[in-house]
Amino acid sequence: MAIRVYSEWYTFRIMKKYILALDQGTTSSRAIVFDQEGTIQSVAQKEFQQIFPKPGWVEHDPNDIWASQAGVAAEAISKIGINGKYLSAIGITNQRETTLVWDRETSQPVYNAIVWQDRRTSSYCDELKAQGLAETIKQKTGLFIDAYFSASKIKWILDNVEGARTKAEQGKLAFGTVDTWLTWKLTNGKVHVTDVTNASRTMIFNIHTLSWDKELLKIFNIPENMLPEVRSCSEVYGETGTTLFASKVPIAGIAGDQQAALFGQACFEPGMIKNTYGTGCFIVANIGTKPVMTKDLLTTIGWKIGNETIYAVEGSIFIGGAIIQWLRDGLGLFTSSAEVEKLAQRVEDSDGVYLVPALSGLGAPHWDPYARGMMIGLTRGTTKAHISRAALDAITFDVKSITDCILEETGIQFKELRVDGGASVNNMLMQLQADVMDRIVVRPKITETTALGAAYLAGLAVGYWNNVNEIQKYWQEDKRFTPGIGREKQQKQYRTWQRAVERSKGWANEE
């Protein structure tokens, strides 16, 4: 009898169809299998080598990226006893801006992937600013001139790898961000595409015309023939042609990681905002079907489905949860990150201690690479509990500075902030965030929103889900944090913290 019951359960299980999301990140590759309710059925993850050839340089081996991603894809589906035949589609989400160039004939990279964190082209970007090109590039791309984005990295490879520029001009080389590389490898070199979200982070893509911009290509001296075709975020780009799966599986969804998280959080209406609390914090707001150029934020593409393009504004905070890691590893205030909440709860407030987490300079809305971290207000009575509380406050203050900027520069009147990422499990942090913003903070049951967004985009393309209204039903709230009695105090402390931020600016500037 038991054998029969198990057999019936097993038959039912393998008859179900699933969506496989490939989540290729900066330090690891992950694969997650989702069912029709958006529930996680299986997860596999593998870290890969980080390469630092010189100070400020960060690279990855493209073949490591592919091998790790292929490995976890196979592992994730084998964990639940299925094969490719039971996958309706594959969705891809990825670290953005990271730049790869490879030989079209051999599929071999001509150089390592230059990672988004890499700063080797900073001086070249300074030259572009000196030439007065900042406004042209901002108006066309929604981006600031910065080594963060792909264009200057492509130029560096063409200028510094022997023979690369000649081969590129002959049409023998291909450029791609990580999504393009994975799709190329999955299809055995038959498909060379990217999506609008990844293209919008290259600094050579016009977000108004949704095409590669010839004027920008001329500025960066990049041959157009090496660029991928730009497609929507939800359509069938091709089928797997590798030995990874026994049967062919449609590749049907692509989006950069933060845009995928916005979609996975079901932020489908203009004015809806999400924040991912990771190493940094990434606040992204849906601004609807028309791009809005802002002074201190990035304007980017949220997603494109069919003929409709949704735009977004984004504020990036370089140090978020990493400040907790620094207190743990750098100062040794506690042994595990989870302890910070318990420590902070021992005190009513930070007792006048303020922490500016500018360990890597200040991102939005300040954009000051010369700012440095600062702790101020210390007295003989200061304890590690006060410093822990100041760190949590600092994270929430940073996020408020972005949401205030979004409000001021776009007019968005948002009611709630949807949150995800590792630090979002800290209830005290989330309550402080609600208090200082005077807005509701909502944490979903499934916080793997980046992979979930890629899965949703792929599933929509193949009819696994019918529309975004169906997807919206599967988004479920885990916990809601409402502004409480501490909000006036938090907001007053925020104003004092802003004074500390001003004092941190320009600290490392030699002038």
Who contacts 60 (Cβ-Cβ below 8 Å, separation ≥6)? 48, 49, 50, 51, 98, 112, 113, 115
Say if residues 357 and 391 touch (Cβ distance below 8 Å).
yes
Alpha helices for 193-280 (secondary structure H)? 196-199, 214-220, 257-264
Q: Is 97 annotated as a binding residue?
A: yes
Q: Is 13 annotated as a binding residue?
A: no
Cα separation of 473 and 316, whole Å?
A: 29
Q: Is 28 annotated as a binding residue?
A: yes
Who contacts 117 (Cβ-Cβ below 8 Å, separation ≥6)? 26, 58
Alpha helices for 80-163 (secondary structure H)? 122-130, 134-141, 151-160
Q: Is 126 annotated as a binding residue?
A: no
Q: Is 78 annotated as a binding residue?
A: no
Cα separation of 78 and 55, whole Å?
A: 40
Q: Is 26 annotated as a binding residue?
A: yes
Q: Is 480 annotated as a binding residue?
A: no
Q: Is 257 annotated as a binding residue?
A: yes
Closest-CA residue to 236 (of 406, 464, 509, 477): 464
Instruction: Give Cα separations from 284 to 278, 310, 359, 419, 454 (angstroms).
Output: 14, 12, 22, 11, 16
Cα separation of 481 and 431, whole Å?
A: 6
Q: Is 426 annotated as a binding residue?
A: yes
Q: Is 239 annotated as a binding residue?
A: no
Who contacts 457 (Cβ-Cβ below 8 Å, separation ≥6)? 91, 233, 234, 252, 253, 254, 255, 260, 263, 303, 305
250 sits in which H/E element: strand 250-256
Say if residues 187 and 241 touch (Cβ distance below 8 Å).
yes
Burial class of 283 by CB neighbour count within 10 A (0 to 12, 13 to 18, 19+): buried
Question: Helix (H, G, I), strand (E, B), or coil: what is residue 213?
Answer: coil
Q: Is 420 annotated as a binding residue?
A: no
Say if residues 151 and 99 touch (Cβ distance below 8 Å).
no
Write the single-letter amino acid at 345: Q
Question: Helix (H, G, I), strand (E, B), or coil: what is residue 129?
Answer: helix
Cα separation of 120 and 49, whole Å?
A: 19
- Which residues does residue 273 pair with via DSSP β-bridges, in sequence order? 285, 417
- Which residues does residue 418 pair with via DSSP β-bridges, in sequence order? 274, 442
Question: Hey, what are 487's tokens?
Answer: 């909000």
Q: Is 96 annotated as a binding residue?
A: yes
Specify binding-site residues for ADP.
26, 30, 279, 321, 422, 426
Specify binding-site residues for glycerol.
96-97, 148, 257-258
Specify binding-site residues for ATP.
26-28, 279, 321, 325, 422
Specify binding-site residues.
26-28, 30, 96-97, 148, 257-258, 279, 321, 325, 422, 426
Specify binding-site residues for sn-glycerol 3-phosphate.
26, 96-97, 148, 257
